Amino acid sequence: MMAYHKVQDILELVESFHKQMRQALDRVSQEADAESVEWLSRQLRQHELHWQAALSGYEKRVAEGVLDTWLQYFPDEEIRRQIDSIVIRRDMTLDELTDLNVRFRQALIDLYETLSQASSAPRVHELFEQLKEHELAVVSKQSRKQQDSELVESSSHKKVS
């Protein structure tokens, strides 16, 4: 059976994924006084602001009818499975959390990719392409940051020897 979804419903679902991640992090950060959790929490919050910025001109999109466009194909089972498999625990290291964050982003990138391919409406295609580009930028920025901090760590270790 083919389920139809409005673009708006899909965006609301993605927003609920963001919220889920944030709430999980908030719970963990209350219980664990870990800087790594704090860092990821900040990253996510920052990302959400960007995400909302990427959707800005939302009213314009409403006017263009983008959000009311129906899409026939929406892999929600698959994406839910990917996102539900992301479990945040108190004792996670920064690396583990970063890894989870990347998995979360990757799930969204796959989703946007699928949706942009699935839509024949140019404006809908464009919206999901923009959101995908945005996620890719976030991922590459984070991996750069991680590399930077690893470089710093490896250079500081060298001095010790």
**Residues 110-147: pLDDT tens digits?**
888 988 888 888 888 888 898 898 888 877 876 676 66
pTM of the entire predicted model: 0.73
In a domain, 152, yes or no: no
Percentage of residues in the chain having pLDDT higher than 90: 1
- Examine residue 24 and state whether it is found in any structural domain, yes or no: yes
The two three-digit tokens of residue 28, written as one number: 């963990």
On the 0-12 / 13-18 / 19+ scale of CB atoms within 10 A, 6 is middle
- Assigned domain for 158 exists: no
1 falls in which pLDDT band (50, 70, 90)?
A: very low
Q: Which residue has the higher pLDDT, 161 or 155?
A: 155
Tell me if residue 71 falls in helix, strand or coil: strand
Distance CA 158, CA 92 (A): 27
Average pLDDT value for the chain: 76
Q: Residue 132 belongs to what domain range?
A: 5-147
Q: Is residue 89 one of the residues assigned to a domain?
A: yes
Contact 45, 22 (CB under 8 A): yes
- pLDDT cut 70: percent of the chain above it: 70
**What average pLDDT does this structure show over 69-87?**
78
pLDDT interval class at 161 (50, 70, 90) = very low
Q: Residue 63: inside a domain, yes or no?
A: yes
With respect to residue 153, please indicate whether it lies within any of the assigned structural domains: no
**In-domain check, residue 108:** yes
Tokens of 38: 């704090």
CA distance 70 to 119: 9
Identify the bridge partners of residue 5 per DSSP, sorted by sequence position. Answer: 71
Q: Which residue has the tokens 């892999």?
A: 75
Residue 161 lies in a domain: no
Number of domains in the chain: 1
